[in-house]
Amino acid sequence: MSKYFISILIGLLPILAEAQSEPLDLSQKDTVEYKDQYGLRVGADISKLVLSFVDEDYTGLELVGDYRLTRKLYLAAEIGNETKRQRENLNNTLLYDYETSGSYIKAGVDLNTYENWYGMNNAITIGGRYAVASFSQTLNEYNLYETDRFFNQDFLSGENPDREFNGLSASWLEFVVGVKVELFANIFAGMSTRLGFLVTNTEDEAFPNLWIPGFNKVTEGSKFGVNYNYSITYFIPLYKKSKKPKEDNQQ
């Protein structure tokens, strides 16, 4: 009987040896399925709404939105309308008083560089926009500096006040850096800084474009401009995608 037992044991030795050569996996498997929400985020630039109430020379509204394409990439756009009246003075003398009014649209992408913990939806983004604006200007009043007279050189009232310049347009590229923080469920506060570079600027020969809706102030001799955005948005979830949790780094 013992020799039969020894024979069976000898026959099982190769199988046992092979089983021992494979390491045992004692780690607990994560069976939780992680999912990211995808959808549309819409809202408004609250800074323009506030400025419209506190500044009698300004009226503006900008609607903002983005759509999540991948975990990091978003399609983004802004559309707005602005009216701004400005006065330029020299030595307490009015040079000109003008009003600019028009609409603009911006479209591009944002890339989220922030790695959220599971369940968080905050973002630190970099991105770009291509923007176009169509607007008009009204030169309400202006003065000309008279240099022909040798004595008593002075400013003289310009002719044809309330002159309108229509059919003006501009286009520009924007580099955008922004932050979005989820305050409550699906409600976000955002802030962005935008550096614009004028690509085209169609203006009237009689009066230059000194301010462009959506671009802000135009500086003489420069194609660059800076503007800001402070937004409140609401996220509309449309569907979810599974997210693979990151594996722990091996030490």
Q: Give a yes or no: residue 227 inside a domain.
A: yes
Q: Are strands 58-68 and 34-45 parallel, antiparallel or unpaired?
A: antiparallel
Q: Give a yes or no: residue 162 inside a domain.
A: no
Q: Give a yes or no: residue 209 inside a domain.
A: yes
Q: Give a yes or no: residue 224 inside a domain.
A: yes
Q: Give a yes or no: residue 13 inside a domain.
A: no
pLDDT in tens, the chain (251 residues): 545 544 544 554 455 455 445 555 555 555 566 778 899 999 999 999 999 999 999 999 999 999 999 989 999 999 999 999 998 877 777 777 899 999 999 999 999 999 888 778 899 999 999 999 999 999 887 776 555 544 444 444 545 667 889 999 999 999 999 999 999 999 999 999 999 999 999 998 888 899 999 999 998 889 999 999 999 999 999 988 877 655 444 43
Q: Cβ distance 214 to 170 under 8 Å?
A: no
Q: Give a yes or no: residue 78 inside a domain.
A: yes
Q: Give a yes or no: residue 156 inside a domain.
A: no
CA distance readout (Å), 121 to 61, 71, 125: 26, 11, 12
Q: Based on the structure, what is the number of domains in the chain?
A: 1
Q: What is the pLDDT of residue 97?
A: 87
Report the largest interatomic distance among the alpha carbons of the chain, rounded to a whole angstrom: 137
In the block, which residue shows the tokens 């905050």?
122
d(CA 138, CA 97): 9
d(CA 160, CA 89): 19
Paired residues of 235 in beta bridges: 41
Give the pTM.
0.78
Output the domain CATH number for residue 78. 2.40.160.20
Q: Give a yes or no: residue 192 inside a domain.
A: yes
Q: What is the pLDDT of residue 250?
A: 40
d(CA 123, CA 108): 17
The residue segments making up the domain with residue 203 are 36-84+100-139+168-238
Q: What is the pLDDT of residue 87?
A: 85
Q: What is the pLDDT of residue 5?
A: 45
